[in-house]
């Protein structure tokens, strides 16, 4: 029993001593784990299992929890939705969840699985069939911090440019099966909601999501660790940018992206083609809430004009009937008669 009480006492004296070495020890411990992982598994296995772990932990699980929160407690979820009940998976129907919303979630997870399967196929073909080196670098040597930062920047900028070009010109510009599929699948959504980040026709999804994410990592041949950090950033971004929520871990960055994604769907693809908005800003295709408010105001004004013209027509004194038929004359007299 004495030994049990001694442990907390020892920790009081040991923690300050150990904390000064904590950074070095943590790094040493991390390097030992990484070395064991690399030495005991093939590069292909490290890449695929690393990708699966990151995607599940930082995208699939949190998005699934948010999706369940939205469909099981819509009254609570609607409070933090930027576009109210429009942002719920069931839209304004709230509790009336149909098979369609479940299908969107299912396809989203299926597309994610498809992307990982394609990544595995590409790596297997490169390494086994063509005897090439692996697309990503899996080595015992860790990358230098500046190399990681440089690669992350290149990866993010490459992803932004590729997503913008493919999304704008292949999925929205000209009539093609790709445009039809993208509009029929993704743009059938009334607003983005959790898990809809990976929802699209499988072909347009691989083209506009998987390729822009994976290609920069292959082109710059990322170190596996850099790739995993890159994938963590992308997964967190996709989780929150498509959630439709007003509460985010970082209000500065993620909330802007989320509103941009909302606007792309709400305006049926008039702009906001890139995830970060850099390319949209350069090529002047960025659309903000103001455009939606303008559109809504225009619609409201249009409706008001129509309503007024109908009221004026109905309340106006008998004018020349447009047709000589007696029935028409009677109906024109009706409201005036009631008014009296
Ligand atoms: Zn689109």
Please give the Cα distance from 259 to 287 (Å, whole number).
Answer: 10
What pLDDT was estimated at residue 251? 67
Q: How far is the CA of 190 from the CAs of 186, 266, 335, in angstroms?
A: 9, 7, 39
What phi and psi values does residue 207 have, to the nearest 5 degrees?
-70, -45
What pLDDT was estimated at residue 67? 92
Residue 185 Cα, ligand 1 centroid: separation in angstroms?
A: 10
Summarised one tens digit per residue, pLDDT across range 236-256 is 999 999 988 888 776 667 888
Summarised one tens digit per residue, pLDDT across range 28-85 is 877 788 778 777 778 888 889 999 999 999 999 999 999 998 888 888 888 888 887 7
Q: 81 - beta bridge partners?
A: 245
Residue 231 Cα, ligand 1 centroid: separation in angstroms?
A: 22
Residue 72 Cα, ligand 1 centroid: separation in angstroms?
A: 28
Please give the Cα distance from 118 to 111 (Å, whole number).
Answer: 10
Residue 65 Cα, ligand 1 centroid: separation in angstroms?
A: 25
Q: 67 - beta bridge partners?
A: none
What pLDDT was estimated at residue 320? 47
What pLDDT was estimated at residue 18? 55
Question: Contact, 193 vs 70, CB < 8 A?
Answer: yes
Residue 273 Cα, ligand 1 centroid: separation in angstroms?
A: 7
What pLDDT was estimated at residue 332? 38
Place of tokens 């479940």: 102
What's the N-to-C CA distance of the chain in angstroms? 99
Q: What is the pTM of this model?
A: 0.75
* pLDDT less than 50: residues of the chain: 1-10, 12-13, 309, 312-313, 319-340
Residue 325 Cα, ligand 1 centroid: separation in angstroms?
A: 51
Please give the Cα distance from 222 to 301 (Å, whole number).
Answer: 53
């Amino acid at each position: 029993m004495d030994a049990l009480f001694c442990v907390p006492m020892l920790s009081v004296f040991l923690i300050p001593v150990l904390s000064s070495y904590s950074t070095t020890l943590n790094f040493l411990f991390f390097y030992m784990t990484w070395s064991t992982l690399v030495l005991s598994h093939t590069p292909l296995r490290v890449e695929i299992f690393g990708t699966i772990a990151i995607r599940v932990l930082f995208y699939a699980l949190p998005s699934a929890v948010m999706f369940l929160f939205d469909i099981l407690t819509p009254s609570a979820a609607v409070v933090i939705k930027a576009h109210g009940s429009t942002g719920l998976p069931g839209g304004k129907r709230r509790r009336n969840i149909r098979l369609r919303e479940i299908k969107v979630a299912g396809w989203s997870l299926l597309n994610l699985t498809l992307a990982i399967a394609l990544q595995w196929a590409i790596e297997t073909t490169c390494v086994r069939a063509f005897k090439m080196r692996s697309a990503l670098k899996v080595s015992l040597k860790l990358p230098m911090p500046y190399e990681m930062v440089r690669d992350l920047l290149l990866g993010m900028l490459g992803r932004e440019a590729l997503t913008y070009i493919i999304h704008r010109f292949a999925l929205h510009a000209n009539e093609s099966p790709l445009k039809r599929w993208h509009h029929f699948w993704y743009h059938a959504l009334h607003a983005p909601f959790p898990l809809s980040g990976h929802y699209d026709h499988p072909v347009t999804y691989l083209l506009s999501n998987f390729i822009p994410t994976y290609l920069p990592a292959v082109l710059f041949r990322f170190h596996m660790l850099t790739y995993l950090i890159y994938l963590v950033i992308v997964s967190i971004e996709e989780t929150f940018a498509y959630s439709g929520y007003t509460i985010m871990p970082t209000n500065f960055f993620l909330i802007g992206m989320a509103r941009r994604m909302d606007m792309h769907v709400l305006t049926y693809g008039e702009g906001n083609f890139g995830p970060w908005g850099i390319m949209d800003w350069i090529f002047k295709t960025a659309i903000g809430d103001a455009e939606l408010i303008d559109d809504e105001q225009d619609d409201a004004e249009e409706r008001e004009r129509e309503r007024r013209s109908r009221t004026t027509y109905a309340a106006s004194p008998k004018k020349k009937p447009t047709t000589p038929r007696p029935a028409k004359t009677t109906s024109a007299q009706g409201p005036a008669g009631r008014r009296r």
